[in-house]
Structure 1
Amino acid sequence: MAFTDRLLKAWYEGHPALFLLRPLEALYRRVAQRKREQFLAGRGNTYRSPVPLVVVGNITVGGTGKTPMILWLIEHCQARGIRVGVVSRGYGAQPPSFPWRVQADQPASIAGDEPLLIVQRSDVPLMIDPNRSEAARQLLAETPLDLLLSDDGLQHYRLGRDLELVLIDAARGLGNRRCLPAGPLREPVERLNSVDALLYNGAAGDTGDGYAFRLEPSVLVNMVSGERKSLDHFPPGQVVHAVAGIGNPQRFFTTLEALHWRPIAHAFADHAAYSPAALSFSPLLPVVMTEKDAVKCRPFAQADWWYLAVNAQPSPAFVAWFDLQLKRLLPARS
């Protein structure tokens, strides 16, 4: 088991050795709280966008379903005639320069896997830069927009925001509720008291402190031909090689099991770089991967390689709440 996997297991299942990391956690908490206090006091170099900006982030390390939720938000806004754009850090991207406008035909090595997926699915204007403020400035200079979404960035206090949405994995929760490196939290748990909405991925229903949403598989897409097949393309009991390089690979494997397939799990690190050799599996079976992984593997995909597209489905209460926020943030468009 890799070190990162062992650390995740310790955060969520407990381990006595984490006690040794408490001094480092205390230092991390002080730095995180100081950044937050400076932001609230108006100190520091914070960029305020001329259009409303919505941060879609998380407080924990690891995947919580941000990319599917951002895609839902994009589609929801576009359906209402709202000109929406996205800014992202572009983790792992290596473009010639920053800020960089992501286009659908760029390789993932330049654009980053998640930004490329978002643009290919939605054709949204999207700019990447480790300094999200610069990404926002440049995107607005190039494109007239009504609303900006920030892919992650809850802790990026150089970027002002008008709305904060925080996503939490309902099954994993907040682990031991401690900050890095003694736990999975990027900020102290009290930070959740100040965000605008909590969304729980995989929750059975809304709760007193947040809204439920789920990720629903929609279609199988062949990575060579682009052919789209319904979810009954594989018969019940079909054995497949399942590839997931996301924050929580087990969620993907569980989804395949719920479709009554039998996945041979191949978990990779989040944002993993792939090669044909890394995906050369035996025995020879269909390969099914996440859409995020597929954007990196298309150049060397084989005929029986597929990705499973998933869509976020938030609760009706969240949809109603978000529409109220849009009316508040964009009164001229109400």
Structure 2
Amino acid sequence: MNISPSLTQTLHTAWQKKGLISTLLWPASWIARAFIARKRLRYQRDPGLAYHSRLPVIIVGNIYVGGTGKTPVVVALAQSLQARGWHPGVVSRGYGVQVGDKARTGQGQLDPALFGDEPALIAQATGCPVAVHPNRPLALKRLQRDYPQVDVVIADDGLQHLALGRDLEIVVQDGRGTGNGRVLPAGPLREPASRLEYVDVIITNTQPNEPAPKRLNTLARQLTMQLAPVSVTQLSTGTTLEWNAWRSAHGHRTVSAVAAIGQPERFFAMLAAAGLQLNQTVALPDHDRYDTSPFSALSDPNILITRKDAVKCLHFNDPRLWVVHAEPVFSDADWIDHIHEMLRVIAQQKSAMADKRPRH
């Protein structure tokens, strides 16, 4: 079910403080906390309940419900690992897609109707093989079978999917931090904020001039990132221009922007910070299917959209649509080198363990 951006914004605003609505819902949150704790204890007592791959597995997830910027981190991580000689594959739930009993795999240009918009974007941006299924272990097993060259797996989301064993956990949050600190429905958290004490890396996605949340008391490596536009592609022709060149050629004309992501206002703010004056902005529900064109009501000669939306808008064949390619700029440029070194150790350990297992 798609929730309107206005309702989503209202909920997130309410979840930033412990007001009357949050307090009334607090008993329900305690029930949710008890369920979460019971589930985690079950997996701790019986590690065999989780599927542990022979490959290193990295989770990129969040504890704050809704969009925090995981997908750009997955793309940047996959591309950086490729540059360091790894062959990553990606597993994802495939939000909004009816997959069936068997996981679905693919590489390159994928149909978002079959894989979901985010997996299709990740496959297109990285060239990595992708597997989708709500049951992440099924997706991972199919990925290993269909793409034996994969030597590290990145799970797009799935921090709370305990059936998938993991070796490293990366949490992506934004400037809202942990909100009012309460678990759903009294607050925005999928798990208690104490969960952040046990992850390996915490990345805070901030907007220009937005202060990062208070540094957490955890051993996790902590850094910030900001998304910045680097190029723009005309969707109907594939013509690509560097951002400054596009601004020089088209920025003087009226421009609108459309986004169907978790936090569309963040996309609009990024464009404004990059020097654009937007005539109109249209915020659609996250994962909107674009069954009908939202662009027909806009009269501007240029309309900017996200890469996540672009995989679903090609059929409109509208020359006014330009896809913004934004890349994260990290405050800690060495964090992926840190991940790379940890992966080398994990891969060696897993290989040694596999060699010790009896062969039948």
Query: TM-score if structure 1 supplies the norm length?
Result: 0.92
Instruction: Give the secondary-structure state (helix, strand or coil) at the position aligned to 2:14.
Output: helix
Select 1:211's aligned residue among 223, 227, 233: 223
Quick one: distance in 2 between partners of 1:261 and 1:14?
36
1:238–1:262 Cα contact (<8 Å) kept: no
2:171–2:199 Cα contact (<8 Å) kept: yes
CA pair 180-44 structure 1, distance change in 2 beyond 3 A = farther
Quick one: distance in 1 between partners of 2:27 and 2:254?
47
Q: Which runs of 4+ in 1 moved over 6 A?
A: 203-206
Deviates more, 1:5-14 or 1:210-219: 5-14
Quick one: distance in 2 between partners of 1:148 and 1:117?
17
1:160 matched to 2:172: no
Shift of the alpha carbon at 1:95?
4.3
1:164–1:196 Cα contact (<8 Å) kept: yes
1:215–1:311 Cα contact (<8 Å) kept: yes
CA pair 179-277 structure 1, distance change in 2 beyond 3 A = same
Shift of the alpha carbon at 1:329?
1.6
Q: Which residue of 2 aligns with 1:284?
A: 300
Fraction of identical pairs, as percent: 36
Quick one: distance in 2 between partners of 1:253 and 1:13?
25
Quick one: distance in 2 between partners of 1:75 and 1:50?
22
Deviations 1:204-259 (A, max 9, x none): 78957512222221100111001101213134564322111111111100011012
Q: What residue ranges of structure 2 are gaps of 5+ in the alignment?
A: 352-360
CA pair 2-253 structure 1, distance change in 2 beyond 3 A = closer
2:93–2:134 Cα contact (<8 Å) kept: yes
**Aligned residue-pair number:** 332
Q: What residue ranges of structure 1 are gaps of 5+ in the alignment?
A: none
Q: Which residue of 1 aligns with 2:322?
A: 306
Q: Which residue of 1 aligns with 2:232?
A: 220
CA pair 78-269 structure 1, distance change in 2 beyond 3 A = same
Q: Which residue of 2 aligns with 1:323?
A: 340
2:89–2:152 Cα contact (<8 Å) kept: yes
Q: Which residue of 2 aligns with 1:181?
A: 185
1:254 matched to 2:284: no
1:83 matched to 2:98: no
Deviations 1:60-112 (A, max 9, x none): 01212111111111111111221211110010123466300134343211110
Quick one: distance in 1 between partners of 2:304 and 2:145?
40
Shift of the alpha carbon at 1:182?
1.0
Q: What is the root-mean-square deviation of aligned Cα atoms in Å?
A: 2.2
Instruction: Give the secondary-structure state (helix, strand or coil) at the position aligned to 1:241.
Output: strand
Query: TM-score if structure 2 supplies the norm length?
Result: 0.86
Shift of the alpha carbon at 1:147?
0.9
Q: Which amino acid aligns with 1:159?
A: L
